[in-house]
Structure 1
């Protein structure tokens, strides 16, 4: 699904106004649901969520936290619903056996950093993590799901778009009103820069939340391979323009760009079109790691992937935010250490 453009406009459009009553109802339900008491599974649960629908940088943040936990001497296991996959779980993700069609694209990326359990029932999935030696569970998404008691919840916001028009789905991108989400969060992480993110940061500080800052940095080796080449960039993520902006930020400006909906499964026709257009313009195709994970799941996608470069990115917090993350993680882990 591609988010409607009017979600991200500051002024309220006619479509947003028409849908606002439905958004208010959905937001009230989500707020009430978040109040339910969750279950503790005896392992610290670190939740990475976002207040809006769509991509904000949750998966790179989750991977970064797993690395920081390792630095603190804790073995992390990822817990995820496996959005877009058919597998109900609980199941341990095996990149050599599972495809994105089965477990979703994000779990395949997470599995490169630490073990991953996919499960629609998060409590059942979490209870299975102990046999993997989990000393901390890192949830990629699930902030609004009340099933598990969280030890630490970090809301991630794309600073370039913030919370859009500030309305709840379907009138806007918010999953629930901002105030009750802030009330259940421990920190806000702004990824990138932009006035929309600054405004969310002001609201978070007013609610008593620490505001952290980070950026998505592309892998240096991948950047070096792309410099000086005519590029055709394509992406099917929450905000494809964010991928294009990442390329621009390192001085790489694609001659052609094509955006697809989030979690898009590329058809044979689309693969043929991309390959044909790249060949006609003597372009090098370049895409995201998430898209690469999906493309590897079928024959047509693998053909496209062999012809494309992949640009991995990682979260890089600023120095002060890195120190604050370590403090928050240590606090979340402290009760478990005292047992």
Structure 2
């Protein structure tokens, strides 16, 4: 979803936005009702392979894709032929299409499928059922769905919810619980959790532990703690960062926490299409500081080829505190 995520969404008591929140409430009720109706009126299809859903309850910004990559890695390490399946948001192809890194670009299949295809077979399909069947016919024993908790088309073997665990500075992953557009929720918290089998709380690398109050929110559901850590340290010297994700301020915070000499940072809307004039502006700004440009791996995949050599890609990965326990959960689901 291409939008500038308002930070007041994630404040538990966003007083300065109370009027706007009130004005948007009727639209939120319509959104929530439409989601509930779609979930209730769809009969899920068994595609002939285990289906592991990686979803969230909010509009972007929870870290689903790094978790999905780690899920795929753990399944394949266990000897299970696991394929990723995505809707391919931002790409022009409808699919079902197996992502080919030597042929496809973000304009074809979207940025997230390109990231998933770095490690495992990945498919895109607007029609999830058709995509799942194509992957199963190609040998997939398990399908890892990126962003599918509110999509009921496929019968799910395991439904995981990824939650942004950063609660400092007054932030709360669900805000005050309001549904989009008056808040960050895709559906009410209770409704979303009722379809979940487990929760992954994703913490930044510099946060020691999850907020106990947040953990208590999930009641009896199993909770796994993961950390989003840099796969490589930022390069030395001055850097000018930019990012087009749902919470760009978290990239700025993470770069600084990783020791980056960050001269400046430019936020863009989620899934932003970087225009030539945007990139020239960033390059000119970096020159003023004698800095190199740096962005996320996901944003780097959307850059025009001519610009990729001029921008550092900063990869991150999700690592689980209880990797053995989480891997066992995945194996049991995939082989059930």
Same fold (TM over 0.5): yes
1:317 offset after TM fit, Å? 1.1
1:197 offset after TM fit, Å? 6.0
Question: Does residue 326 of the first structure (1) align with residue 327 of the second (2)?
Answer: yes
Paired position in structure 1 for 2:201: 190
1:253 offset after TM fit, Å? 4.1
1:196 offset after TM fit, Å? 9.2
1:323 offset after TM fit, Å? 2.7
Which of residues 154, 157, 182 is equivalent to 1:171?
A: 182
Note if contact 1:216-1:246 (Cα within 8 Å) is conserved in structure 2.
no
Paired position in structure 1 for 2:169: none
Query: In the superposition, relative to structure 1, how do residues 157 and 170 fare at CA in structure 2: closer, same or farther (>3 Å)?
Result: same
Paired with 1:54 and 1:197, the residues of 2 have a C-alpha distance of 20
Paired with 1:34 and 1:325, the residues of 2 have a C-alpha distance of 27
Paired with 2:121 and 2:331, the residues of 1 have a C-alpha distance of 21
Which of residues 21, 32, 35 is equivalent to 1:16?
A: 21
Alignment length (residue pairs): 322
Paired with 1:278 and 1:57, the residues of 2 have a C-alpha distance of 28
Paired with 1:119 and 1:334, the residues of 2 have a C-alpha distance of 24
Q: Which runs of 5+ in 2 are unaligned?
A: 167-171
Paired position in structure 2 for 1:263: 271
Alignment of 1:113-192 (within 5 A): 113-160=119-166, 161-192=172-203
Which of residues 194, 202, 214 is equivalent to 2:226?
A: 214
Cα displacement string for residues 174-195 of structure 1 (whole angstroms, at most 9, x for unaligned residues): 1011111111011111111679
1:279 offset after TM fit, Å? 1.4
Alignment of 1:271-282 (within 5 A): 271-282=279-290
Question: Does residue 238 of the first structure (1) align with residue 249 of the second (2)?
Answer: no
Question: Does residue 251 of the first structure (1) align with residue 252 of the second (2)?
Answer: no
Paired position in structure 1 for 2:307: 304
Cα displacement string for residues 259-313 of structure 1 (whole angstroms, at most 9, x for unaligned residues): 1011101111111111111112201111110011100xxxxx3333211211111
1:198 offset after TM fit, Å? 4.8
1:2 offset after TM fit, Å? 1.2
Q: Secondary structure at the match of 2:184?
A: coil
Q: Secondary structure at the match of 1:214?
A: strand
Note if contact 2:300-2:311 (Cα within 8 Å) is conserved in structure 1.
no
Paired with 1:137 and 1:281, the residues of 2 have a C-alpha distance of 46
Cα displacement string for residues 3-37 of structure 1 (whole angstroms, at most 9, x for unaligned residues): 23331222241111221232123213312322333
Question: Does residue 34 of the first structure (1) align with residue 39 of the second (2)?
Answer: yes
Cα displacement string for residues 112-147 of structure 1 (whole angstroms, at most 9, x for unaligned residues): 111111001000110001232211000011110000
Paired position in structure 2 for 1:298: none
Structure with more helix by fraction? 1
Paired with 1:181 and 1:198, the residues of 2 have a C-alpha distance of 20
Paired with 2:254 and 2:100, the residues of 1 have a C-alpha distance of 30
Paired with 2:129 and 2:252, the residues of 1 have a C-alpha distance of 37
Paired with 1:33 and 1:275, the residues of 2 have a C-alpha distance of 45
**Range with greater deviation from structure 2 (243-252 or 273-282):** 243-252
Paired with 2:78 and 2:297, the residues of 1 have a C-alpha distance of 27
Paired with 1:80 and 1:14, the residues of 2 have a C-alpha distance of 37
Paired with 2:31 and 2:210, the residues of 1 have a C-alpha distance of 23
Paired with 2:306 and 2:335, the residues of 1 have a C-alpha distance of 48
Paired position in structure 2 for 1:47: 53
Paired with 2:240 and 2:308, the residues of 1 have a C-alpha distance of 13
Note if contact 2:238-2:291 (Cα within 8 Å) is conserved in structure 1.
yes
Note if contact 1:84-1:103 (Cα within 8 Å) is conserved in structure 2.
yes
TM (normalized to structure 1)? 0.90
Paired position in structure 1 for 2:215: 201
Note if contact 2:229-2:319 (Cα within 8 Å) is conserved in structure 1.
yes
